[in-house]
C-alpha cells in the first residue's frame, strides 16, 4: 500500500475517539495494522484497552464509518486482537500528555 494512502487511512482513524478516554484510537496505540487489497477491502487489526471494554462494538462501528468516507475503500473489516496486549507504552507522546501518563 502506498504511504500516502496509509496516511489517509490513519488520518481517518484519528477521528475515531475512544469514548472512555477521549483520545483517538491511533494515538492510543490501539491500531496495530491496516491493509487495503485491490478490491477496496480495508482490513484493520486493532485491540481495545481491555478485554471487557463495553465500547468495543461502538468503536468498530466508528472505524467502519470513518473509513467508509475514503473513496478507495469499498468495505472495511475490523479484527480485534489481544496479542500483543495493549499497554500505556503504546500511546503516542500526545496521548500520554493529554491523559497525564508518564
Q: In what order do the strands lie in the sheet with 31-36?
A: 31-36, 41-46, 75-80
pTM of the shown model: 0.93
pLDDT of the residue at 96: 96
Residue 38 has which C-alpha cell?
485491490
CA 101 remoteness from chain centre: 20
Q: Which residue has the cell 473509513?
A: 67
Q: pLDDT grade, residue 30 (50/70/90)?
A: very high
Look up the CATH number of domain 3-92.
Answer: 3.30.300.130
Distance CA 74, CA 70 (A): 8
Q: What is the pLDDT of residues 37-90, one digit of tens each?
A: 999 999 999 999 988 888 999 999 999 999 999 999 999 999 999 999 999 999
Q: Looking at the DSSP assignment, which residues form a beta bridge with residue 43? A: 35, 77
**DSSP-derived pairing of the beta strands 31-36 and 75-80:** unpaired
Amino acid at each position: 500500500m502506498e504511504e500516502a494512502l496509509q496516511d489517509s487511512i490513519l488520518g481517518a482513524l484519528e477521528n475515531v475517539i475512544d469514548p472512555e478516554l477521549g483520545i483517538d484510537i491511533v494515538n492510543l496505540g490501539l491500531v496495530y495494522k491496516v491493509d487495503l487489497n485491490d478490491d477496496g477491502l480495508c482490513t484493520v487489526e486493532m485491540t481495545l484497552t481491555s478485554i471487557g471494554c463495553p465500547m468495543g462494538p461502538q468503536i468498530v462501528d466508528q472505524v467502519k464509518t470513518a473509513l467508509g468516507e475514503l473513496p478507495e475503500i469499498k468495505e472495511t473489516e475490523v479484527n480485534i486482537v489481544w496479542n500483543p496486549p495493549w499497554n500505556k507504552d503504546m500511546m503516542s507522546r500526545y496521548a500520554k500528555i493529554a491523559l497525564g501518563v508518564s
